[in-house]
Amino acid sequence: MMFRGPSVTRCLPRALLSLLLTIVPALAQDEPEAVGPPGSAPPAFEVLDPSGLRLRVDPIDDCSHVALWLALGSGAAHDPVDRPGLARVVGEVLRDLLPEPTAGRPTDVQVLARATLLGVTVPVAELPRVVALFGKILGGGIEPADEVLERARDRALLRLDDERHVLPGPVLRGLAGTALRPTDPDQRRPDPLAVAELGLGDLRRAMEAATAPQRAWLAVLGGSVDSVATIAEAFAGLEPSDVAAPEIPRLPPPAESPAHRLVSRHVDAPFVVAAIPAPQWGEEGYLPFLIGMEAMRVRAYRVLGTVRGGEVRAEFAPFFWDPLLDQRFAFVERRGADEDDVTRVEQELKSFLAGFRAGGASIGEVQQAMGLLLRGLELPPPSDPALLQVLRRQPAVLHTRGRVPILYTLHGWPTDLRHAFEGIQMHHVHEVLRQRLEADSTVMLALQPDRD
C-alpha cells in the first residue's frame, strides 16, 4: 500500500477498544434531552454562573496527573451547506493552542458530528496553566493570526488528502454512513475543495460560535478536591457569549448513491467494509445490540484478526465501533491478501455476518463482551481498585477515561447504564442480532486496487 503524508494511529489494549475515537449523534444546546427510560438522568454537571459553563470534577486521591476534557458545542454537522469541513479546520486551530503531546502529557482534538472535544492530561502541578488556557479559549481571548489560520487549513487538507487516497478505513466508513443515511447531517463528509476555499473570516466566525462558554462542558478526572476551587476561580470572570449557536443545515438528497465498489491506484489489495445500523439510546433493543456488537468485536478479532499488512496505518480494524463516540453504525472490516479478488473478500465478510446472525453469540463471547463493556462504560472514578491504580500511574489511560462523563451527557445516557445490563438475557441478544444483520439492513462497500 502507498502512503503520501503522515497519519497517526494509537494502538490500545483490547479492553479499551470500546473507547476509540470517530461521531457523537447529539449535543443539546442547553441541557441534554432525556431520551432514556422514564426517570433516567445523565451525569450531574454544575452550572457556573454567570458563564453557563457546565463543570464536573471527579478527584482521585494520590493521582499524579489530571485529565481535562472540554466539549465545545459545535461540530461537523453544524458546517454550512457550502462549507463542509469548516469544523475540521477550527479543530486544527484549537490543536495549535494545546501543549505538544508526549507520553506523560497526552493531548487530543476530536471533531465529532455535534461537538468538538479538547483533551489535555498533565501533572497536577500544571493544572492551573491548562485551566487558564481553557478559560482564554472560552473567554474569547484567542485571536489567531492569519498564518495560524492558513496553517490549520493546510493541515486539514493534508489529513483529508490522506483519507481520500491512503486511508481506506475513514473513506469506506464515511461512504457507508452516507449510503445508509444520505440526508443525515451527522454523516456529512468534508469536501477538500470547500476547505481550500475557506476564508479567514469564515474561520474566525466559526471559532467565535464554537467557543461560547454557555454551550461548553468541562470534565476533570484526577487531582484532588482542591482542584475544584482552582477550576471554579479560573472561570469566575467568564461571561456568556452573544454569538448565536450554529445551526444544523438541512441536507438535500444526493443525486446518486455511493458506488458499491471504488477503484484506486493507491491500494495494493482489496478493502471491504460492512456497515450495520445501530438503534439509538432509548430505542427498543439498544442494550442487547450493545452487548451483541461487543461480542461481535470479540469474534471478529479472533476470526478476522490476521494482519496481512497495511491495516493499522490504513486505520482499518477487523471491527470498528465506539458506542461512546459513534452510536450510528458498527463496521466489520477486512483487508484481502494482495492477490485476492474483491469478490472473495466480500464473500468472506458476508459469511461472517451470516454465521453470526444464524448462530448468535456464544455464552463465552457474551460474558467477555459484558466484562469489557462494564469496565469500559463505567463512569469515573471507577470502583475497581485495580483500575484505580492504573489511572493513578498511567496518564494515557487516565486521559482516555476522562472523556466518559461528557460523552454520557452528550448521549443522554443515565448514570446507572451499567446496571441496566442485569435484565438482558441471551435470547434478547440473539433476536436483535437477527434483526440488525438482515442483508437488506446492512450495506457493503469495497475499495479495490487498479491493477491495469
8 Å CB contact between 346 and 357: no
pTM score, whole prediction: 0.85
With the C-alpha atoms ordered 150, 188, 343, 430, is the resulting torsion angle positive or negative?
positive
Residue 436 to residue 288: CA distance in whole angstroms: 11
Q: Which single residue is written with the C-alpha cell 466508513?
A: 173
Residue 321 to residue 310: CA distance in whole angstroms: 20
Residue 389 to residue 383: CA distance in whole angstroms: 11
Provide the pLDDT for residue 440.
82
8 Å CB contact between 377 and 368: no
Provide the pLDDT for residue 40.
58
Whether residue 381 has a cis bond before it, omega within 30° of 0? yes
Residue 254 to residue 188: CA distance in whole angstroms: 11
Q: What is the pLDDT along the chain (452 residues), one digit of tens a residue?
A: 322 222 222 233 333 223 222 222 233 334 434 334 434 577 889 999 899 999 999 999 889 999 999 999 999 999 999 999 999 999 999 999 999 999 889 999 999 999 999 999 999 999 999 999 999 999 988 889 999 999 999 999 999 988 877 788 888 898 898 888 888 888 888 999 999 999 999 999 999 999 999 999 999 999 777 777 778 788 888 999 999 999 999 888 887 777 788 888 778 889 999 999 998 877 888 889 999 999 999 999 999 877 666 677 778 889 998 888 877 899 999 998 888 899 999 999 999 999 999 988 999 999 999 888 888 888 888 888 988 999 999 999 999 999 999 998 888 887 877 777 878 889 999 999 888 898 788 999 998 888 76
Helix H, strand E, coil C: the string for the chain is: CCCCCCCCCCCCCHHHHHHCCCCCCCCCCCCCCCCCCCCCCCCCCEECCCCCCEEEEECCCCCCEEEEEEEECCCHHHCCCCCCCHHHHHHHHHHHHCCCCCCCCCEEEEECCCCEEEEEEEEHHHHHHHHHHHHHHHCCCCCCCHHHHHHHHHHHHHHHHHHHHCCHHHHHHHHHHHHHCCCCHHHCCCCHHHHHCCCHHHHHHHHHHHCCHHHCEEEEEECCCHHHHHHHHHCCCCCCCCCCCCCCCCCCCCCCCCCCEEEECCCCCCEEEEEEECCCCCCCCHHHHHHHHHHHHHHHHHHCCCCCCCCCCCCCCCEECCCCCCCCEEEEEEECCCCCCHHHHHHHHHHHHHHHHHHCCCHHHHHHHHHHHHHHCCCCCCCCHHHHHHHHHCHHHHHHHCCHHHHHHHHCCCCCHHHHHHHCCHHHHHHHHHHHCCHHHCEEEEEEECCC
Q: How many C-beta neighbours within 10 Å does residue 62 have?
A: 8
Strand-pair partners of 275? 331, 443
Strand-pair partners of 332? 274, 319
**How many angstroms separate the Cα of 3 from the Cα of each of 6, 170, 263, 316?**
8, 15, 16, 14
Provide the pLDDT for residue 309.
64
**How many angstroms separate the Cα of 117 from the Cα of each of 70, 181, 408?**
6, 24, 13
Helix axes 86-97, 146-165, angle to 10 degrees: 120
Torsion, Cα of 394, 399, 401, 403 (10° steps): 170
For the chain, domains (ranges, CATH) are 35-234 (3.30.830.10), 261-379+415-449 (3.30.830.10)
